[in-house]
A and B are shown apart, each in its own frame.
Chain A
Amino acid sequence: MNSPSAQFVSSRRMSVYDPIHQINMWGEGFKSNGNLSASLPLIDEADLKFDSSQSEDASHGILGTSHKYDQEANRPIDKIQRRLAQNREAARKSRLRKKAYVQQLESSRLKLMQLEQELERTRQQGMYMGGGLDSNNMCFAGPVNSGITAFEMEYGHWVDEQNRQISEMRNALNAHIGDIELRILVEGMMNHYAEIYRMKSAAAKADVFYVMSGMWKTTAERFFLWIGGFRPSELLKILGPMIEPLTEQQRLDIDNLGQSCQQAEDALSQGMDKLRQTLADSVAAGQFIEGTYIPQMASAMEKLDALVSFVNQADHLRQETLQQMSRILTIRQSARCLLALGEYFQRLRALSSLWSNRPREPA
């Protein structure tokens, strides 16, 4: 037969990619996995048109076609051929789906690795968040401040050494070692305090707000914060009773030292208040024009530089207080004073831990 329909049937029999098959398989593939690769042969309009034009041609042509088709498809060898073709197609589709799935897994794995790295980095920075809050109220870490990261690592070591020195001093005093050996321990502890102030000075240049807020300290320590550290006059009041007995001259000297501290602290506090006021004024004066601040903010930036010198002055005051105490006291008294100081901060840190781990009422 030379009717177009017969031709059509033979070509259909030969080719695997006949439209009806296509529709079925594509439908299956599409349902199971939306991520099929582009290499999958898709039905295009031409095929569909071909189909519909066939059916429009002559109904008896169609009937004839399908009749022919059935006759031929009923032959066992054709059935097997068709089955094999279907299997091949299914296998091909399955391989493509698997490939797409594996590609998805690979990219997810990569993303997971990146997230883990970022998490590790953020954890190492401790509580430091360089950025702020974005519009969704999510805290995000800004660019890594290496000066602060370095400080936090060094601070960890500093505390370890501090704890070691405290134990050593306690043992030494209990063992009643001589003044000469005690002096070595006292000088060691004093130098260790000098070290933290050096570290803080460097950190203040990296991020003065970080140092001002005492971000590296525990919560209880931060409660007593004054310009990035402890308030010397308060500490003198606490330590005084712990280093009895004192001579009258010593008592007087310590009182005077306490008073001088208080006055110096007041002066610095008032200076800080003025700085806050002028900073607030600078920020208020800055205008917001199309997403950028006009130069009034430059003066605000200068004020922030002044903040660094305040932090340095406060630390200088702390160090001077310690040094004055060591001049007023005997070596043994100094040793006891430094031990008491160290143990006080250890207890304060322990209080922070206890507080954060306390059992809470169920909500």
Chain B
Amino acid sequence: MEKVMRLASEKGVVIFTKSSCCLCYAVNILFQELGIRPMVHEIDQDPEGRDMEKALMRLGCTAPVPAVFIGGKLMGSTNEIMSLHLSGSLTQLLKPYHQSLS
């Protein structure tokens, strides 16, 4: 759990994924379309991956991956991100972390 929280705060936007997960890939694409380069942690490539997966579930994530943290706070999985985006809230949340594509 500590590892998850530590990694989640390392950068503004952090996504926990699995290398084989195409839905995680889609969420990553969305962030890049919005001009964000999130930090991606592939938990299936991590030796403590199983524990991290359990920790994410305990934090209330409906699916362990993709798990999106913004500003160190868990936003949710794909469903939540999509809803946030359509309501316009996601862009607001991402403002401080927006990287200019120069």
Interface residues of A (CB under 8 A from B): 253, 256-257, 260-261, 263-264, 266-268, 270-272, 274-275, 278, 302-303, 306, 309-310, 313, 316-317, 320-321, 324
Contact = CB atoms under 8 A, between A and B. Distances in A.
B26 interface: yes
Interface string B1-39: 000000000000000000011110111011001100000
Residue of A260, A306, A321, A324 with most chain B CB atoms under a 10 A cut-off: A260
Contact of A256 (B21, B22, B88): B88
A332 to B, nearest CB: 22
B88 A271 contact: no
Contact of B26 (A257, A268, A321): A268
Given A260-B85, A260-B86, A324-B86, A267 B33 contact: yes
B23 A263 contact: no
Given A257-B88, A267-B30, 15 more contacts: A257-B86, A260-B85, A263-B30, A263-B34, A263-B85, A264-B30, A264-B85, A266-B30, A274-B25, A302-B20, A306-B21, A309-B78, A310-B22, A320-B83, A324-B86
Prevailing SS type, chain B contact patch: helix
A261 B82 CA distance: 9
B30 A313 contact: no
B68 to A, nearest CB: 13
29 contacts: A253-B88, A256-B88, A260-B86, A260-B88, A261-B86, A263-B30, A263-B34, A264-B82, A264-B85, A266-B29, A267-B27, A268-B26, A270-B26, A271-B22, A271-B25, A271-B26, A271-B29, A274-B22, A275-B22, A302-B20, A306-B21, A306-B23, A310-B22, A313-B26, A313-B78, A313-B82, A316-B83, A317-B82, A324-B87
Interface string B66-102: 0000000000001100110111101000000000000
Given A263-B33, A264-B30, A316-B79, A271 B23 contact: yes
Contact of A270 (B29, B63, B78, B86): B29
Contacts of A261: 86
Nearest to A268: B26
Contacts of B27: 267
Contacts of B29: 266-267, 270-271
Contacts of A320: 82-83, 86
Contacts of B85: 260, 263-264
